[in-house]
Structure 1
Amino acid sequence: MELRHLRAFIVVAEELNFRRAAERLHMAQPPLSQQIKRLEHEVGVTLLRRTTRQVTLTPAGQAFLDEARRCVEAAQAAVRTARLAAGGDTGVLRLGVSGPTFYEVLVLMAGKFGRHRPNVRLEITGPAFAGELIERLDRDEIDACLIRLPVPGSGIVVRKITEHPFGAVLPVGHPLAHRDRVRLAELRGEPVISYPSKRASGTVTLLHSAFLAQGFSPNIVQEAPDTHTIMLLAAVGAGIGFVPMSASHLKVPGVVLVPVSDMPALPLALAWREGDDNPVLHALISLLDEVSAECHRWPGAESAEAGT
């Protein structure tokens, strides 16, 4: 059963006149009559009662009209839905995140995306370290992720959004806890609580490189699974830590977060699979320049760049 036949029947049923219906459909009257006859033959019942003076709907025709309208409306809705999905206006975006040092950027990005694509459902998963998120990308379990650079693996596209300076997590009683910023050499020999070397490889590599650039290695005494735990361990006197300054919102009692002036900043980027043609993903990617520009207007962004 062809949709054009259903549309033709609906117009005839509304006009109850083949000449006027043909004019509305921009076609000649004889082909229209043939379409209606073909439709009635396919349905197996008479839908229209015709006389020389008038056209009326049979009871079967009236019942068929209601369903025909629903069919045509459903077909039109299917076309609209497909076009919206192709334009990235509907669907689902699965976004992986690493941890609380990303939350400010995540909230900004999600807010902008929600305003631009209100009919797209954003599914956020995590926390997980960069290597784990890349593995999820490879397995098509997520569409994109917010991670620290550098990114392990291949076949991944990254777009840097912003960067966060390193801060030293110091117990409140530490001799340098009152300082506005410290230098790495002033922390030489301090017991350091580090991120896991096998899971947070990018951040740990940057940490070691910063120490080696000063001519010594970090005195790592313990590894902790996440930023919050590093800060808690520092608060109870297990050592000091080095985390992004964006962790300052965690407000762990007993510690202060002091910027380290001669450590490189930690880049934060969005990563996705190379060649992924998901329209919803590309709708998010199109907003990254706006997100990045707003991040650079946040208080402290200028000083962070000056310290790198």
Structure 2
Amino acid sequence: MELRHLQAFVTVAEELSFRRAAERLQMSQPPLSQQIKRLEHEVGVPLLRRTTRQVALTTAGLAFLSEARRALRAAQAAPQAARQAAAGQTGVVRLGFSGPTSHEVLVLMTRKFRERRPRVRLEVHGPVFGGELVDRLNRDEIDAGLIRLPVAGSGIRVRELTRHPIAAAVPAEHPLATRREVGVLDLRDEPVVSHPTNRGAGIVSLIHSAFMQHGSSPNIVQEAPDTHTILSMVGAGVGVGFVPVSAGHLKVPGVVLLPVSDIPPLPLALAWRTEDPNPALHALIDLLDEIAADCRTHADDPL
């Protein structure tokens, strides 16, 4: 079914005159009549009643008219929709995040992206931890992910957005709880509740490296699957934990966070597949400098 035949029918239906319709379409009447006949043959029922004096819609023609108009509107909108999708103005970005300590950045990123690309749908998947997030990227289950550095694997690009200082989570009744900050030496004999290496590899490596520089290793007495559980175990008196200071918004009762002066900050980055062609994803990537600036502002002047 050709669009020009639909346009011819709609014009005749609006004018109820082959002469006036032909004038609007800038064509002669005989080819216009032939187009309507071909259309009726294709549909299989008469769409117009013709007499020497008038043209009228049949019941079938009246029903066909609304659908023909809809088809023409869709055909007119299709090129614009394609151009908008190619420009990253519409579409979907599936975004994974690595845990509750990335929530602040997730909020800032979502806010900025919605301001600049309000017609792109941002699907949030998570929490997806460490190596699992990279695996899901490689399987094309997500388009990008907020992840702690370093990232292992090939074919993945990363852009660091912010760095979170490390804090020691201690029970509120702990002798160190009244301190403004602590160092690794203050904690080397403490029992530690730790992330498992397969879920928090970045922070686990960071903590082990810091302890090794002081000639020791952390006394890990229990592993916990995520930051919130670590804080809960600390509140229960199991031991101390090491978490990004951004975990402070979790506000677990009976837990105090103390900055650790001699452990470097933990980077948080956006990761994506190097060869991903998704224009909506590239629209997000184009905003990363602004998002990183928002993260710095937020760190200096918390909301």
Of the structure 1 ranges 31-40 and 267-276, higher mean CA displacement relative to structure 2 is found in 31-40
Go from structure 1 to structure 2 and tell me whether the alpha carbon gap of 1:194 and 1:6 turns closer, same or farther (over 3 Å shift).
same
TM-aligned CA deviation for residue 108 of structure 1: 1.8
Match of residue 181 from structure 1: 181
Assess if the C-alpha contact under 8 Å between 1:177 and 1:258 holds in 2: yes
Is 1:212 paired with 2:212? yes
Is 1:245 paired with 2:241? no
TM-aligned CA deviation for residue 216 of structure 1: 3.2
Residue 289 of structure 2 aligns to a residue whose secondary structure is: helix
| Structure 1 residues not aligned, in runs of 5+ | 303-308
Is 1:297 paired with 2:302? no
Of the structure 1 ranges 193-202 and 263-272, higher mean CA displacement relative to structure 2 is found in 193-202
TM-aligned CA deviation for residue 125 of structure 1: 2.3
Assess if the C-alpha contact under 8 Å between 1:295 and 1:301 holds in 2: no
Go from structure 1 to structure 2 and tell me whether the alpha carbon gap of 1:169 and 1:66 turns closer, same or farther (over 3 Å shift).
closer
Is 1:112 paired with 2:112? yes
Supply the RMSD in Å over aligned alpha carbons.
Answer: 2.7
Aligned positions, number:
301
Match of residue 35 from structure 1: 35
Amino acid at match of 1:258: L
Match of residue 276 from structure 2: 276
Of the structure 1 ranges 265-274 and 195-204, higher mean CA displacement relative to structure 2 is found in 195-204
What are the residue-to-residue correspondences of 1:12-31 with 2, within 5 Å? 12-27=12-27, 29-31=29-31
Q: Structure 1 length normalisation: TM-score?
A: 0.85
Superposed CA offset, 1:193-218 (max 9, x none)? 22112332222112222222344332
Match of residue 161 from structure 2: 161
Match of residue 193 from structure 2: 193
Of the structure 1 ranges 183-192 and 101-110, higher mean CA displacement relative to structure 2 is found in 183-192
TM-aligned CA deviation for residue 122 of structure 1: 3.0
State percent identity of aligned pairs: 66
Go from structure 1 to structure 2 and tell me whether the alpha carbon gap of 1:220 and 1:65 turns closer, same or farther (over 3 Å shift).
closer
Match of residue 103 from structure 1: 103
Amino acid at match of 1:241: G
Structure 1 CA distance, aligned partners of 2:189 and 2:75? 71
TM-aligned CA deviation for residue 297 of structure 1: 0.6
Is 1:146 paired with 2:146? yes
Structure 1 CA distance, aligned partners of 2:42 and 2:228? 70
Match of residue 264 from structure 1: 264
Structure 1 CA distance, aligned partners of 2:250 and 2:45? 73
